[in-house]
Amino acid sequence: MTEKDYTHVSTIRVRYSETDQMGVVYYANYLDWFEVARTEFCRLMGVPYSKWEEDGLILPVVESHCRYKHPARYDDQIQLWCRIADVKIYTVTFEYRLLRASDYKLIAEGWTKHGCTDCKGRLYKKEHPFYKWIVSRAEAKTEGERRK
């Protein structure tokens, strides 16, 4: 996958508090950045995550993976690329690529898989309120890839 396969990019700047004693970004912060990318992706695609929750869809992370490629350091500007990778009735998977903006070096990539639950934590057994919206966003990218 390359950035052309992704549908959305956000930008953040590494804060001092996000670095460790060695001067590089602490590993767990990358998962926080995945959340920023996912939240902004949904907002820019037309439905902020808060609307999903208002309408009864909660997306807890049930699996995550991050592969660290190069270190990010204090004050680096980071591009957070996000896309929908897979959609099922019960789950949705987002993929991420994090690049240092100054040289476009890939610093990390990964994915998060989310269960589709109601407000009480019960897994949806049929189409949830945003299922068709998520599928249409994933299919739009798939159609674009077929045309290339």
Asked if 114 contacts 58 with a C-beta cutoff of 8 angstroms, the reply is no
Strand order in the sheet with 8-13: 8-13, 77-87, 91-100, 105-115, 61-68
> 102-146, pLDDT tens digit by residue?
999 999 999 999 999 998 999 988 887 778 878 887 766 543 333
Which are the catalytic amino acids?
Answer: 20
The pTM assigned to this predicted structure is 0.86
The two three-digit tokens of residue 45, written as one number: 């695609």
CA distance 94 to 80: 12
> 61-77, pLDDT tens digit by residue?
999 999 999 999 999 99
CATH value at residue 42: 3.10.129.10
> 39-96, pLDDT tens digit by residue?
999 898 888 989 888 988 899 999 999 999 999 999 999 999 999 999 988 899 999 9
Q: Which domain holds residue 40?
A: 3-147
Q: Say how many domains are in the chain.
A: 1
Decide if pLDDT at 2 tops 70. no
Q: Decide: helix, strand or coil at residue 7.
A: coil
- Sort 15 into a burial class: Cβ within 10 Å, 0-12 / 13-18 / 19+: exposed
